[in-house]
């Protein structure tokens, strides 16, 4: 996986986590849980696709 792809995935994961934090501030445990689950799933895919 090239470094630009890694950067884009990392930025998307960060954005998803920020959205999850906003859900958390509004009191939605399901929302924060879902956002963090999606971000972690992207993290796993990122590591699986890493060709280093």
The predicted-structure confidence for 1-52, as pLDDT tens digits, reads as follows 577 888 899 999 999 999 999 999 999 999 999 999 999 999 998 888 776 6
Query: pLDDT value at position 52?
Result: 64
pTM of the model: 0.81
Tell me how far the alpha carbon of residue 2 is from its chain's centroid: 18
Query: pLDDT value at position 47?
Result: 83
What lies within 8 Å, CB to CB, of 14 at 6+ separation is none
Query: pLDDT value at position 48?
Result: 83
Residue ranges of the domains in the chain? 19-52
Rounded to the nearest 10°, the torsion over CA 46, 22, 30, 40 is 10
Query: pLDDT value at position 28?
Result: 92
């Amino acid at each position: 996986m090239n470094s630009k792809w890694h950067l884009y995935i990392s930025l998307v994961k960060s954005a998803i986590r920020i959205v999850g934090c906003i859900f958390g501030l509004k009191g939605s445990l399901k929302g924060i849980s879902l956002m963090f689950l999606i971000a972690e799933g992207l993290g796993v895919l990122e590591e699986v696709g890493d060709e280093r």
